[in-house]
Structure 1
Amino acid sequence: MTRTEASMDALRQVGDELADATVAALFARGEVGRFNSLMRYFSTVGAPLPDGLPDVAREYLEATSAPPAWVDWDEMEKARLFFIDNDVHVSTALSFASMPACYVVPPVAKLLSTTHGLKYPSRRMAETGQFTVYLMRPDAFEAGSRFIPAAQKVRLLHASIRHHLARENRWDTGALGVPICQEDMIGGQMFFSLLVLDSLHRLGIHMSTEGAEAYYYAWRVVGAMLGVDQEAVPTTLGQARRFLDLYMIRHMGPSEEGVVLTRQLIDLYEEVVPGRFFDPLVPALIRHLVGDTCADWLDVPRTAWDTVARTVPRLLGVLETIEDRSPLGAWALDRLGHLATVLELSSLTRGRVMHYAIPEELKADFGVPRAVPRTRRWTPPAPTDLP
Structure 2
Amino acid sequence: MTEPTAADPRLRADPLADDTVARIFGDWNDGAARLSRWEAIAHVERALAGWDTNGALDGWTADGSTPAPIVAALEDYVLQACRLPAWCDAGKIGCAEAVFADIGMLAPTLLACASLPESAVMVDPLGQQPEDRLRAAASLLLAALVRGGLLDASGAGVAQVLKLRLTNALIRHLIVRGNPAEALAHGAAIPALLPEGADDYRAFFARGWDVRANGLPRNQEELACTLLTLHYVFLRSLRRLGLGLKEQEEGAWLHAWNVVGHLLGIEEALLAATMQDAAALFARLQRAARAVARARYLAPGGKRSVPGYGKMTDPRPALAAALMRVVGDEIAPRSLTLFPVLLARRLCGPATGRILGLDGQVTSFSRALFALGMGTARCVDTAARLLCPGLSTRRLAARILGYRLAQRFLTDPVRPLDLPDALLRQVEAALRESDADPAAPGWVNAIERRCRPQRGGRSAHEAAAC
TM-score bracket for this pair, using the shorter chain length: 0.7 to 0.9
- SS of the residue corresponding to residue 133 of structure 1 reads helix
Inter-CA distance 337–96: structure 2 relative to 1 (3 Å threshold) = closer
Unaligned runs of 5+ in 1: 357-366, 371-387
| Worse-matched range after superposition: 249-258 or 151-160 | 249-258
Inter-CA distance 313–190: structure 2 relative to 1 (3 Å threshold) = farther
Please point out which of 217, 227, 232 is paired with 1:194. Answer: 232
CA contact (8 A) 2:254 2:272 kept: no
| Worse-matched range after superposition: 169-178 or 216-225 | 169-178
CA contact (8 A) 2:109 2:402 kept: no
* Structure 1 counterpart of 2:197: none
Please point out which of 256, 276, 295 is paired with 2:334. Answer: 276
Provide the C-alpha distance between the structure 1 equivalents of 2:283 and 2:333, rounded to a whole number of angstroms. 38
**After TM superposition, which residue ranges in structure 1, 4 or more long, deviate above 6 angstroms?**
5-8, 320-325, 333-340
Inter-CA distance 317–166: structure 2 relative to 1 (3 Å threshold) = farther
Inter-CA distance 104–231: structure 2 relative to 1 (3 Å threshold) = closer
CA contact (8 A) 2:108 2:406 kept: no
**CA distances 1:155-192 after superposition (whole Å, capped 9, x unpaired):** 11211221122115522211222222112212222222
**CA distances 1:62-110 after superposition (whole Å, capped 9, x unpaired):** 32234223211111112122223333334322211121112223xx2xx
Please point out which of 285, 290, 293 is paired with 2:351. Answer: 293
Q: Which has the higher contact order (CA 8 A, sep 6+)?
A: 1
- Name the amino acid aligned to 2:159: P
Inter-CA distance 179–132: structure 2 relative to 1 (3 Å threshold) = same
Identity of aligned pairs, percent? Answer: 22
Provide the C-alpha distance between the structure 2 equivalents of 1:324 and 1:45, rounded to a whole number of angstroms. 45
* Structure 1 counterpart of 2:408: 347
**CA distances 1:201-234 after superposition (whole Å, capped 9, x unpaired):** 1111142111111111111111101000114433
- Name the amino acid aligned to 1:306: R
Report the TM-score when normalising by structure 2: 0.66
Please point out which of 63, 70, 74 is paired with 1:51. Answer: 63
- SS of the residue corresponding to residue 227 of structure 1 reads coil
TM-superposed deviation, 1:61:
2.1
Please point out which of 302, 323, 334 is paired with 2:362. Answer: 302
CA contact (8 A) 2:251 2:273 kept: no
- Name the amino acid aligned to 1:290: C
Q: How does 1:145-224 map to 2 (within 5 A)?
A: 145-167=155-177, 169=191, 170-224=208-262
Provide the C-alpha distance between the structure 1 equivalents of 2:209 and 2:160, rounded to a whole number of angstroms. 27
- SS of the residue corresponding to residue 273 of structure 1 reads coil
TM-superposed deviation, 1:14:
0.7
CA contact (8 A) 2:10 2:222 kept: yes
Inter-CA distance 334–261: structure 2 relative to 1 (3 Å threshold) = closer
CA contact (8 A) 2:243 2:395 kept: no
Provide the C-alpha distance between the structure 1 equivalents of 2:398 and 2:278, rounded to a whole number of angstroms. 28
CA contact (8 A) 2:106 2:402 kept: no
Provide the C-alpha distance between the structure 2 equivalents of 1:45 and 1:338, rounded to a whole number of angstroms. 31
- SS of the residue corresponding to residue 355 of structure 1 reads coil
How many matched pairs? Answer: 345
CA contact (8 A) 1:44 1:144 kept: yes
| Max Rg structure | 2
Please point out which of 100, 115, 118 is paired with 1:101. Answer: 118
* Structure 2 counterpart of 1:17: 15
Report the TM-score when normalising by structure 1: 0.78
Unaligned runs of 5+ in 2: 27-34, 178-189, 192-207, 298-313, 420-432, 438-466
Provide the C-alpha distance between the structure 1 equivalents of 2:269 and 2:164, rounded to a whole number of angstroms. 21
TM-superposed deviation, 1:15:
0.2
Provide the C-alpha distance between the structure 2 equivalents of 1:32 and 1:345, rounded to a whole number of angstroms. 31
CA contact (8 A) 2:109 2:405 kept: no
Provide the C-alpha distance between the structure 2 equivalents of 1:77 and 1:317, rounded to a whole number of angstroms. 34
Provide the C-alpha distance between the structure 2 equivalents of 1:225 and 1:321, rounded to a whole number of angstroms. 44
